[in-house]
Amino acid sequence: MPPPPEFSALLLDIEGTITSISFVKDQLFPYAYDHVERYLQEHFEDGGLQGIISDLRGLAKEQLLLDPDQVRIVRDNKAEAIEDLVHNVRHWINTDKKLTAMKALQGLIWEEAYRRGDVKGHLYPDVLPVLELLCKRSPPTPIYIYSSGSVHAQKLLFTHSINGDITGKLSGYFDTNVGLKGEAESYKSICRQIGRDASEVLFLTDVEAEARAANEAGLQVRLVVRQGNAPLSEEAKKDFIVIHTLDDII
């Protein structure tokens, strides 16, 4: 095993890196799928939801051009609008679309689930001890999150994790508002925002395309292998250092 990397900031993917894919795939996504209709019916007039609904209306018009057989234009009548929104959101969940407005709605649904105690955020056992060690360094190493899930959803997971509220260990959060995870410019933007040279930042992910984008941007990269993750290509194994636990970066 190569020696641990030297870095002054850590950037973490969530799903498949520090939390299991099955938690997101088998708990969070089905919860949003099952509860989206009830949530919209109960909160349709809420001020915080109205902006998201407006964004979802615009998103439906965009996606209709790409997927005319499945996506519906959202009608004006409340009952019909809810019917159309539920149809679109469930379709996008089934097809694993990374759409910011949909992620925002999912975040609100998950907030209610966390608050009710229906869901607790999964973290692998090696995660919290490593975060604590990094926070105890002198100076402390800042830890950031970059996920396709909304910043709101990210904060919910870490506030209501199986280890309790660990948001005090984290210095910031990024989602697709900063750019897509498969694009190098997204990582350059993150480095600018956190005030670090790209070469000083270590990015951990389980996704080869994200690793290549971050590497192109100049970040240090480790590919994380966890049980249940998609297998890595032979090229990825040759091009990147592979780790199986966060202990390997300390």
45 is in an annotated binding site: no
Is 181 known as a binding-site position? yes
Fold adopted by 25-116: 1.10.720
Q: Rounded distance, CA 213 to CA 185, Å?
A: 8
Q: Where in the chain is the domain with CATH 3.40.50.1000?
A: 9-19+121-249
Where are any strands of DSSP class E within the chain? 9-12, 143-146, 172-174, 201-205, 220-224, 241-243
* Residue 147 annotated in ligand binding: yes
Task: Locate CATH 1.10.720.60 in the chain.
Answer: 25-116
Q: How confident is the model at residue 61 (pLDDT cuts 50, 70, 90)?
A: very high
Mean pLDDT of all residues in the chain?
96
Q: Name the CATH topology of 9-19+121-249.
A: Rossmann fold (3.40.50)
Q: In whole angstroms, what is the distance from residue 31 CA to residue 49 CA?
A: 18
Determine whether the annotation assigns residue 22 to a binding site: no
Q: Any known ligand binding at 42?
A: no
Write out pLDDT tens, residues 20-37. 999 988 999 999 999 999
Sheet containing 220-224: order of strands: 172-174, 143-146, 9-12, 201-205, 220-224, 241-243
The answer to whether the annotation marks 120 as part of a ligand binding site is: no
Average pLDDT over residues 58-62: 97
* Confidence at 1, pLDDT banded by 50, 70, 90: low
Least-confidence region, from 22-26, 36-40, 60-64, 211-215:
22-26
For the entire predicted model, the pTM comes to 0.82
pLDDT tens, residue by residue, 84-142:
999 999 999 999 998 989 989 998 999 999 999 999 999 999 999 999 999 999 999 99
